[in-house]
Structure 1
Amino acid sequence: MTSDQLAARIDHTLLKQDCTHEQIQTLCAEAREHGFASVCVPPYFVPVAAEALLGSSVAVCTVIGFPLGYSTTAIKVAEATEALAMGAIELDMVMNVAALKSGAEAAVQHDIRALAELCHGHQAILKVIIETAVLSDEEIRRACDLCATAGADFVKTSTGFASRGASVEDVRLMRDQLPSNIRIKAAGGIRTHAQAVALVLAGADRLGASAGVALLTPPQDDDSAHETSAY
C-alpha cells in the first residue's frame, strides 16, 4: 500500500482536552499536505477547521456524545445540528453503551437512527463508535447489527479514551458481522505504518489517528512489520 493510498484512509485526529487553536491549525495544514480523508476535531474547533480547509478535499469531522455516549438523543441531535451548521460533514457519534448493556436495544437503535437521518438530510456521513474495549464479542455483533439497521455509514471501534483502542481481531469480527455497504473505522492507539496496514487488511476502511503523519512511514525493520494490534 502506497503512502498516498494509506493517507486517503486516515482521519487526522486531535481530541485532547487541552488542544489549542494553533494545534488545530497545524493539524489542518498536515491534512492538506498529505491528502488525509478528514480532520477530526472537537466541536468547538469545527469553524476553525472548516475555514482552514476551505477549497481542499479534506473533510471536517467532529464528535457527538463524546466520549461516553450516554447523553440523551435530543442532546446528541442538538450537538449534531450545530456541528453540521458550523461546517462538519462527518460526525463520529458515540453509541449509548449503557443502554446496550442494559438490554435497551430499541433505545440504542432510535439514538443512531435519529443521527443518521439528520446527517443524511445534510449529505453528511455518520460514524458510530461502539467502544469495543468494553464489549464482549456478542455485544460487538449486536452493536454492529443495530448500527446497520439504523442507517449508520460506518461503525467505528473506539473513542481512544477507553482502556484500549482497536485491534485486528475487533475489525475482523466487525467485518464478518456487518453488511458490505457499511464501512469500518478503526481508531485508538494506531501509531505505526505496520499497525495501520494490518487494520486495513483486516477490513478497516478508515483509520482514526493522532499520529497520522507517522503512519505514512513504512517500517524500517522486520520486527515492526509483524505488529498486528492497533493499541
Structure 2
Amino acid sequence: MKINQFLDATYLKTARQAGLSEKENLHKVLQLTEEAIANEYKLIMIRARYIGNVKTALAVVKSPVLIGTVIDFPEGNSTTDEKLQEAQKAMYAGAHELDFVLNYNAFKAGDISLLTDEITQCTALCLEHHKVVKFIIEVAALSNEEIIVISQLIKKVVLENFGEENAKNVFVKSSTGFFKMHTSKSNGATIESMKLISKNAKPLKIKAAGGVRDYPMALKMLALGVDRIGTSSSKEIINEAHNTNLEH
C-alpha cells in the first residue's frame, strides 16, 4: 500500500492567518506543490485564490496531482446560492475536488430542509461538472448522535437523488481543522468520530481531516475505512512510512 495516494496535502491559511505577506504565502503554497509533485500525493488542497498558480506549476511537469479547494470555509454559514457561486468560480479556475463546509449550525438548530437542499444542490453541481464533492460536517461541533444523524442524512440524500453509482464521487469529511475549541479536545478527526462516520456514511467515501499528523495514526484511519486523509503533515507521514518499511 502506497500511503501517498491517500493524502490530500493541505495548506489553507490565508496570508493574514499565517502572519505573512501575500507573496510569502503564495511561496508556501508553491513549496507544497513541489512536495506534492515529488511525493506523488493524490491531491493538494489550497485556497481558491491559488488554484491558477498551482494549476500552472502542475502543468509544467505534467503532474497527475489533483487540485482541491474549500468552499464557504471555515464557518459554513453562507446561503446555498452563495456556496454554488463560489464553487462555480473554483471549478472554472481548475479545481478537481470541492470541500464544502456544510451549514452544521443550521443542522444543530433542526433545519433539516435547509441542509437537505444544500447537499442536493452542491452535489448536483459538482457531479454535473464531473467533480468530486466533499461535505465537511465539523465533528468537534457535534455530539456523537449528531455525527450519526448528519452522516446518514448525507448518504440518504445522495443515494436517493444521484444513485449508488455516484457514491464514489461524494465524501463525508470530518473537519475544517479551524474550529475553535474551548477545551483540550481535538478539533479534528478522531478514531471515535471516524468510526461513526464510516458506519453511517458508507458507501459514500470518507475523508479524515485535522489531527492526522503521523504514519501510525494514518494507518489507523485507513483501517477504519477512511478513503482520504487531509493533513498538513504529509511529508512527515511519508518519511515515517519510508523509514518503517526500511526497518521491515
Give TM-score scaled by structure 2 length. Answer: 0.84
1:95-110 matched pairs, under 5 angstroms: 95-110=102-117
**Matches of 1:121 and 1:201, distance apart in 2:** 32
Q: Secondary structure at the match of 1:213?
A: helix
- Verify: 1:16 aligned to 2:39, yes or no: no
Structure 1: tracts of 5 or more residues without a match: 222-231
Q: Can you list the C-alpha shifts for 1:164-211, whole angstroms capped at 9, x where unaligned?
A: 11011111111111232x010001021111111111111211000011
**Matches of 2:147 and 2:79, distance apart in 1:** 21
- Verify: 1:166 aligned to 2:151, yes or no: no
**Matches of 1:16 and 1:161, distance apart in 2:** 9
Which of 166, 175, 178 is 2:201 aligned to?
178
Give TM-score scaled by structure 1 length. Answer: 0.90
CA contact 1:28–1:52 (8 Å) conserved in 2: yes
Q: Secondary structure at the match of 2:14?
A: coil
Instruction: Kindly provide the amino acid, as one letter, of the partner of residue 220 in structure 2.
Output: A
Name the % identity.
34
**Matches of 2:217 and 2:199, distance apart in 1:** 20
Instruction: Kindly provide the amino acid, as one letter, of the partner of residue 138 in structure 2.
Output: E
Query: Bigger radius of gyration, 1 or 2?
Result: 2
Which of 44, 52, 56 is 1:47 aligned to?
52
1:229 corresponds to which residue? Answer: none
Structure 2: tracts of 5 or more residues without a match: 19-24, 159-168, 182-186
CA contact 2:98–2:133 (8 Å) conserved in 1: yes
Q: Which moved more, 1:136-145 or 1:125-134?
A: 136-145
Instruction: Kindly provide the amino acid, as one letter, of the partner of residue 177 in structure 1.
Output: N
1:78 corresponds to which residue? Answer: 85
The Cα of 1:15 is off from its aligned counterpart by: 0.4
**Matches of 1:198 and 1:179, distance apart in 2:** 18
2:219 corresponds to which residue? Answer: 197
Of Structure 1 and Structure 2, the greater helix share is in: 2
- Verify: 1:156 aligned to 2:173, yes or no: yes
RMSD: 1.5
CA contact 2:190–2:211 (8 Å) conserved in 1: no
Q: Which moved more, 1:143-152 or 1:42-51?
A: 143-152
Q: Secondary structure at the match of 1:13?
A: strand
**Matches of 1:66 and 1:100, distance apart in 2:** 17
